[in-house]
Structure 1
Amino acid sequence: MKRFTTIIALLFSLVSFNTSHAAEPMKALIVDGQNNHKVWPITTPMMKDYLEETKLFTVDVATAAPEGTDPNFKPDFSKYDVVISNFGHGASPWPEETQKAFEKYVSGGGGFVVVHAADNSFPEWTAYNEMIGLGGWGGRTEKSGPYVYTNAKGDVIRDTSPGKGGNHGKQWEFPVVVRDKHHPITKGMPVEWLHTKDELYDQLRGPAQNMEILATAESQVTGRHEPMIFTVRYGKGRVFHTPMGHAEYSMECVGFITTLQRGTEWAATGKVTVPIPDDFPTADKTSSRTK
């Protein structure tokens, strides 16, 4: 009987260990500090809160000096399951050592999340542009790669026409159309949902290799269906990219919040467990969470 009791206790301890181990949150890092969007000191804590409220992540923040290449900006990326960029247009290059460390991190299997103006950053950094798939501004042209968008049927167009990379019209509430209903990030989302007031980026261009478009929005400027949710494979790494999220009111959209949470989980693990919430926007009604 004593031996039986010992075995049961051992099994119970193993189950308890595995359960607690499985429940241990993943580690995420938000990098910021240089962004032409002056609201970044507000939006970084917002994204931190959104990720931590899932109970899947603990989130650290690494902030670069406000101007110039910061020689002390050297996060230990290897400590994290996923890195989220809240950098923006005009950001100075990271130190070469940090660039190489980040390339090694993502290509080796690390997750990376690109939010809004982070696709404006670092036009001269070849590997970064391969990671983000599409970018804008910063002197990007046809030399950076094709324009990528879809037609009304959802067919992907790779347009090599010459021209600048990056543009947007006035901010507005625009419909987001899910193009891939089976991908873990978008599975269960309404086929169309109304995003809150935001900049709709158009004319993004870049290498766009190993890229999958999950959702689009029709630009009032180009008439094209521009990528709004997409993924990129970089080596063994998973990259989630959304051009949405211009300001705090844009990030208060439940569609943005859910997309960020699910996209970050996918970038970190390749799977998604975060549910589509009951207050997710519909085709004709926005939904926001304000604090």
Structure 2
Amino acid sequence: MFKMTKEDILMKRILTGLLVGITICAIQSVMSADADGKIKLLIFSGANNHSWKTTTPFLKDLYEGSGKFSVDITDDVPGINPEEFRKYDAIVCNYTSYPKIEGQRWPAATEKAFLDFIAAGKGFVLFHAASTAWNDWPEFCHLIGLSWQKDKATGKNISGHGAQHSFAINIVDKNHPVTQGMRDFQHIKDELYHRQLLHPGAHVLATTFSDKTMNGSGTNEPMVVVTECGKGRVMNCAMGHDPKPMAGTGFRALMLRGTEWAATGKVTIPVPDDWPVLGSAQAEELKKVEPPRESKKHK
């Protein structure tokens, strides 16, 4: 029978102590990361042809005000350390380098880390002008489901928008976790993007009619789409030109519920009671907030 020496006993005690210490540290690390139970978000910001200096603070207040999320912001998206991704449950994109939408890609290692982050079960949410980001990165364009189009021969935009106005949002999938319980609603005056490229695999949750009298396309345009990447989830919302339309009940609900879904696969945030159902007095008032106006055109 093997007899342990004093040195063996001492070494066993040291190793046991080390293992216990490592285990305690690991438990404490997990507890500290999840102690508040909040979904951890990173907002991409710092560049946008829209007013990111007002829309990013609006987003932070929206998310943190719900009590469901904690928010960090990076204004250095091009130089981000890919190790940062793993700290978060989801990334929300309020970033684009438009009009320079080509030649702005990340290093290959960062692109891979970003896609791996989502595929591992995390979330990505973007809205409005963020659909113009990384337009020459095919995997990203496919990931977001709905992307800005330019004519490669001429460099001119295929996608665009007409005059800002209030428009009706039609919920076409009433069973998806993000839109379940939502009825068709009136959205406050906003830019209505048209002729964006809908990619294979994108699932449309909501549409709107782009009226030619407002210099639109004359067709139904996707407004909210979702995609999946491995175990992860993505939501792309075409609305949200500035804080005024972002303050609309529908936009706020879509962003909150969509971000919770992207991060966790579930939705617990309720649809607001003050929903601007089409035809309601509230919906009619939204049409009167301001007359339609021309936006600064994308060139």
Q: Does 1:188 align with 2:196?
A: no
- Residue 279 of structure 1, CA deviation: 1.8
With over 3 angstroms needed to count, the CA separation of the structure-2 counterparts of 1:172 and 1:103, relative to structure 1, is same
CA deviation after TM superposition for structure 1 residue 240, in Å? 0.6
Aligned counterparts, 1:275-286, within 5 A: 275-284=270-279, 285-286=282-283
Q: Does 1:32 align with 2:32?
A: no
**Alpha carbons 1:166, 1:204 under 8 Å: kept:** yes
What is the CA–CA distance in structure 2 between the aligned matches of 1:247 and 1:176, rounded to whole Å?
18
* Aligned pairs (5 A) from 1:16-55: 24-37=37-50, 39-55=51-67
Corresponding residue of 2:5: none
Q: Unaligned stretches of 5+ in structure 1?
A: 1-17, 143-162
Q: Is residue 91–residue 124 contact of structure 2 (8 Å, CA) maintained in 1?
A: yes
Q: Which residues in structure 2 correspond to 1:1-291 (within 5 Å)?
A: 24-37=37-50, 39-64=51-76, 70-71=78-79, 74=82, 76-88=84-96, 89=98, 90=100, 92-137=104-149, 139=150, 165-190=158-183, 192-206=184-198, 208-220=199-211, 221-284=216-279, 285-286=282-283
CA distance in 2, matches of 1:222, 1:72: 37
Gapped regions of structure 2 (runs ≥ 5): 1-30, 287-299
Q: Distance in 2 between matches of 1:32 and 1:277?
A: 28
Distance 2:130 2:229 in 1: 17
Query: How far, CA to CA, are the matches of 2:140 and 2:186 in structure 1?
Result: 30
Deviation at 1:238, TM superposition (A): 0.3
CA displacement 1:208-233 (0-9 Å, x = unmatched): 23221111000012221111111011
**Any conservation in 2 of the 1:86–1:114 contact (CA below 8 Å)?**
yes
8 Å Cα contact 2:118/2:229 also seen in 1:
yes
Query: Hey, what's the Cα distance between the residues in 1 that align with 2:171 and 2:134?
Result: 29
Deviations 1:254-278 (A, max 9, x none): 1100110000001011111111112
In structure 2, C-alpha distance between the alignment counterparts of 1:22 and 1:185, rounded to whole Å: 26
Query: Match for residue 15 of structure 1?
Result: none
Q: Within 1, Cα distance between the matches of 2:53 and 2:47?
A: 10
CA contact (8 A) 2:228 2:234 kept: yes
Kindly state the Cα deviation for residue 75 of structure 1 after the two structures are TM-superposed.
6.0
Number of residue pairs matched? 242
**Structure 1, residues 101-150: CA drift from partner, whole Å, max 9, x if none?**
1111112221000111110111111211111112114x3669xxxxxxxx
Aligned-partner residue type, residue 170 of structure 2: V
Distance 1:201 1:98, change over 3 A: same
- In the superposition, the TM-score normalised over structure 2's length comes to 0.75
The Cα shift of 1:94 comes to 2.9
SS in structure 2 at match of 1:226? strand
Aligned-residue CA RMSD (Å) = 2.5
**What residue identity is the alignment partner of 1:167?**
G
Q: Measure how far apart 1:22 and its partner are.
A: 8.4
On the 8 A contact 1:135/1:205 being kept in 2, the answer is: yes
Residue in 1 aligned with 2:6? none
Q: CA deviation at 1:181?
A: 0.9
CA distance change for structure 1 residues 136 and 276 in 2, over 3 Å: closer, same or farther?
same
Question: C-alpha deviations, 1:16-72, integer Å up to 9, x for none?
Answer: xx9xx68611111101111111x111111111111112211101101127xxxx445
Over 3 Å counting, the alpha-carbon distance change for 1:223 and 1:107 in structure 2 is same
In the alignment, is the contact (CA less than 8 A) between 2:192 and 2:210 conserved in 1?
Answer: yes
TM-superposed deviation, 1:164: 5.2
Is contact 2:191-2:239 (8 Å) kept?
Answer: yes
TM-score computed with the length of structure 1 as normaliser: 0.77
User: 1:196 corresponds to which letter in structure 2?
Assistant: I
Does structure 2 retain, via aligned residues, the 8 Å contact 1:63–1:73?
Answer: no
